[in-house]
Amino acid sequence: MINEGWLSKVIFTTVRLQDTDLNKVTIGRNGDFLSSSLSRAVNTYLNNQAAVATWFERCANRQSTIVFCVDVNHIHDLAAAFRSRNVDARFVTGNTPNHIRANTIDAFKKGEFPVLLNCGVFTEGTDIPNIDCVLLARPTKSRNLLVQMIGRGMRLSPGKENCHVIDMVTSLKTGITTTPTLYGLDPDELVQSAEVKDLQDLREIREQELAARERPAELNVNGDTQEMRSVKVTYTDYSSISDLIEDNLGERHIRQLSRYSWVQVNDDDFVLSSSGRGFLRIQKQGHYFHVQYTARLLREASPYARPRKIIKNALTLEDAVHGADKFAEHALTPLVLIESHTAWRKASATDAQVRFLNRFRPVENKLWPDTITKGKAQDMITKLKFGARGRFERITLAKKRADRELENGRKMQKLKAREIVKVGPLESD
């Protein structure tokens, strides 16, 4: 609909707040964060100052910004943070009298003030076409809620070029839904001023990259000056297979979708293994995800049965994971063996695990039982058994090709430089 001109173009910026911990926030019956508990974690001085600093850096030139907060207390505190910077920020809540709410919204539509804060009022059915900035100051586990909040800025309006969405991502370790996840990206992605097509292109790039590392945006909120510095993106090449299997970047996304210890063994290739009952495997083929179950045979010559496809043509990784998890609940019992947050995974690795892993490590970099947890060791072993060695070989070859192409490019530049002949001014008699 954006491409066909039915909705406004959107650009996204995500901001990670490292000091916000959502691990202890209570989950409500609807599966999303409980507002009272979430407010205590999110509604802090530093978070509110960071939100205002981000708005000044990215969107101070926007005409109409709508801000989504957690609760009424969050609204009051964040509005005060805006006003302390001389921004005319007003708000409406579910308790705002109808005539005051109508007058406030009407003034906002007319552009009489730039920032309107709310909590739970404008998530759906609101028609304010002039909104050209959406500040998501509250995290959510709900994909539908996230889409509804972003949707408030996607109405067409005369003179409106696009809508800028700022997603204050906070902690990325508790399964929250963020703008990158809407486009199939790892929730750990930090993006700056990216359009929808940019996010789609970024997904394709991430699928082809050897490995990616990102450092979080840094906010200076001390004193009266607050600024958002640029997000730095660096790339890390794996120098050994041990580096590859120790990398857990690929697990972060899928473990936001599942309670089980899925492991990424290749690009778009994930395994959930139970030593006693077999394993599940999710693989992307073409545009779809497929799930196979391979049962373990205890009294046969072959240790495993033939793979059996249990899910075909899932449109998203999320759909494939949910279906695979339901199957795992009766096929890979006891579940304690595959749960990602169970107590045994935090214990020290066994001698047998360490001996197996050290076969693939240099002598000077050997592991010891007290230097790695049992769960981490199990994940690394799963990677080795299900494709990490082949993946490392492909990564190594790709890096060699890239190095050769870079070196050839440098040689060509030198040759072209030699072909340039410079003639200075001629001396006159």
188-231 pLDDT, tens digit per residue, is 454 555 555 555 554 554 444 433 333 333 444 444 433 433 32
DSSP letter string, 160-183: --EEEEEEE---SSS--B-HHHHT
Q: What are the residue boundaries of the structural domains of the chain, listed by start?
A: 9-228, 249-384
Q: At what angle do helices 45-59 and 72-83 cross, to 10 degrees?
A: 50
Highest mean pLDDT among 174-188, 260-274, 392-406: 260-274
DSSP letter string, 258-321: -SB--EEEETTEEEEEETTTEEEEEEEETTEEEEEEEEB-SSSSSSBPPPEEEEEEESSHHHHH
Residue 345, classed as helix, strand or coil, is helix
The residue written with tokens 């999110």 in the block is 42
154-176 pLDDT, tens digit per residue, is 889 898 888 888 888 653 343 44
User: d(Cα 266, Cα 250) in Å, to the nearest integer?
Assistant: 9
What residues does 12 pair with on adjacent strands?
165, 194
Burial of 62-74, coded b for 16+ CB within 10 Å and e otherwise, reads bebbbbbbbbbeb
pLDDT of residue 83: 94
68-122 pLDDT, tens digit per residue, is 999 999 999 999 999 999 999 999 988 888 899 899 999 999 999 999 999 878 8
91-101 pLDDT, tens digit per residue, is 998 888 889 98
Q: Which own/partner pairs from 353-362 qualify as long-range (CB within 8 Å, at least 24 positions apart)?
A: 353/377, 353/378, 353/381, 356/381, 356/384, 357/242, 357/381, 357/384, 360/241, 360/242, 360/245, 360/384, 361/240, 361/242, 362/240, 362/242
When computed from its CA atoms, the radius of gyration of the chain, rounded to whole angstroms, is 26
Sign of CA dihedral 101, 107, 110, 111: negative
Tokens representing residue 117 in the block:
């804060």
Return the CATH superfamily for domain 9-228. P-loop containing nucleotide triphosphate hydrolases (3.40.50.300)
What are the two backbone dihedrals, phi and then psi, of residue 191, each rounded to the nearest 5 degrees? -125, 150
10-18: average pLDDT: 75
Cβ pair 189, 7 in contact under 8 A? no
pLDDT of residue 383: 83
pLDDT class for 412, splitting at 50, 70, 90? confident
Cβ pair 57, 45 in contact under 8 A? no
Which pTM was predicted?
0.48
- Tally: H helices and E strands in the chain: 13, 16
How many other C-beta atoms can be found within 10 angstroms of the C-beta atom of residue 359? 7
315-347 pLDDT, tens digit per residue, is 888 889 999 999 999 899 899 999 988 889 889
Q: At what angle do helices 35-42 and 72-83 cross, to 10 degrees?
A: 30
273-289: average pLDDT: 89
Cβ pair 272, 261 in contact under 8 A? yes
pLDDT of residue 317: 87
